[in-house]
């Protein structure tokens, strides 16, 4: 796989940005697609009898957003997913939810992660690549689970935190991994929890790895906000500067 990381070419300007945010207005929250449960972008004809939309396609409706090329911002683009029925593992992320994949990996490199018959509709060779271990300094200690998916790579979570530990699923965080590199940061938020509790502001810290592979400014907190108009805003914030080890 072509390495899809880059070095910062110019210094970060303090105060240039403070948050990365996605807002879903009330009209969109109330009209999220229910059928089909996917947009057909992650399918593979497993048994050669033509695509069966129920068994040959991973769930999710995907929208992509590209960020400005701000000096010091490691994230290049966002893949936003609406998961009507959730997805595996069972009793972890199997509730309706939003996924926010803040990608460090290039879009074209992401697209090389093929669909196929293994796990969550991923090419079996690419699944093996996705499952390569990340060097210990670039991943929080003890993190693991839950599995690889086509057009994404592997997902790594804290097995001792909700919802992987059996506690209720409200909001959670995962690191995306491919070919031994962290390729995206991913807040995951339960849609039913948001609508039921209407949180004015609920935040949680993002567990950091000892080191980062790419120097830049990284968020240390993720938050969910619900306003009086019914709009929902999801953020990554409280950015801090981190420097990659020399030679990485």
What are the DSSP calls for 231-245, one per residue?
-EEEEEEEEEEE-PP
Indicate the pLDDT class of residue 8, thresholds 50, 70 and 90. very low
Burial label for 151, CB within 10 Å (0-12, 13-18, 19+), is: buried
The alpha helices in 48-93, defined as continuous H runs, are none
Residue 211's closest CA among 177, 159, 246, 160? 246
Residue 187's closest CA among 199, 175, 197, 195? 175
Question: pLDDT of 124-138, one tens digit each?
Answer: 999 999 999 999 999
Indicate the pLDDT class of residue 5, thresholds 50, 70 and 90. very low
Q: Where are the beta strands (DSSP E) in 68-109?
A: 77-83, 97-103
Question: pLDDT of 15-31, one tens digit each?
Answer: 566 889 999 999 999 99
Other Cβ atoms within 10 Å of 18 Cβ, number: 12
Which residues are bridge partners to 202 per DSSP? 224
User: What is the predicted pLDDT for the residue at 93?
Assistant: 85
Indicate the pLDDT class of residue 14, thresholds 50, 70 and 90. low
Question: pLDDT of 42-98, one tens digit each?
Answer: 888 888 888 777 678 888 889 999 988 888 999 999 999 999 887 767 778 889 999
User: What is the predicted pLDDT for the residue at 13?
Assistant: 53
Question: pLDDT of 202-222, one tens digit each?
Answer: 999 999 999 999 999 999 999
Q: Sign of dihedral through CA atoms 196, 224, 177, 112?
A: positive
What tokens were used for 4? 């899809």
Pick the most confident of 1-10, 34-43, 185-194. Answer: 185-194
User: What is the predicted pLDDT for the residue at 4?
Assistant: 27
User: What is the predicted pLDDT for the residue at 46?
Assistant: 82
Q: Are 163 and 98 in contact (CB under 8 A)?
A: no
What are the DSSP calls for 133-156, one per residue?
PPPGGGS-TT-EEEEEETTTEEEE
User: What is the predicted pLDDT for the residue at 3?
Assistant: 27
Question: pLDDT of 154-199, one tens digit each?
Answer: 999 999 999 999 999 999 999 999 999 999 999 999 999 999 999 9
CB-based contacts of 22, cutoff 8 Å, min separation 6: 65, 78, 80, 100, 233, 234, 235
Angle at 97 between CA 91 and CA 98, to 5 degrees: 135
């Amino acid at each position: 796989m072509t390495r899809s990381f880059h070095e910062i070419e110019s210094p970060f300007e303090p105060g240039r940005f403070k948050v990365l945010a996605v807002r879903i207005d009330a009209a969109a929250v109330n009209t999220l697609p229910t059928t089909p449960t996917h947009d057909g972008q992650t399918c593979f004809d497993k048994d050669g009898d033509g695509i069966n939309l129920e068994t040959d396609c991973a769930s999710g409706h995907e929208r992509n957003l590209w960020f400005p090329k701000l000096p010091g911002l490691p994230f290049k683009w966002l893949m936003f997913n609406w998961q009507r029925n959730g997805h595996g593992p069972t009793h972890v992320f199997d509730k309706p939810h939003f996924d926010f994949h803040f990608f460090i990996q290039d879009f074209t490199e992401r697209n090389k992660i093929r669909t196929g018959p293994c796990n969550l509709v991923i090419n079996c060779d690419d699944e093996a690549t996705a499952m390569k271990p990340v060097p210990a300094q670039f991943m929080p200690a003890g993190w693991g689970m839950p599995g690889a998916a086509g057009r994404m790579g592997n997902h790594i979570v804290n097995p001792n935190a909700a919802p992987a530990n059996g506690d209720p699923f409200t909001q959670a965080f995962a690191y995306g991994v491919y070919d031994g590199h962290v390729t995206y940061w991913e807040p995951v938020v339960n849609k039913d929890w948001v609508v039921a509790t209407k949180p004015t502001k609920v935040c949680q810290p993002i567990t950091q790895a000892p080191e980062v592979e790419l120097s830049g400014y990284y968020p240390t907190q993720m938050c969910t906000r619900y306003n009086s108009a019914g709009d929902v805003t999801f953020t990554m914030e409280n950015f801090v500067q981190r420097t990659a080890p020399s030679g990485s």
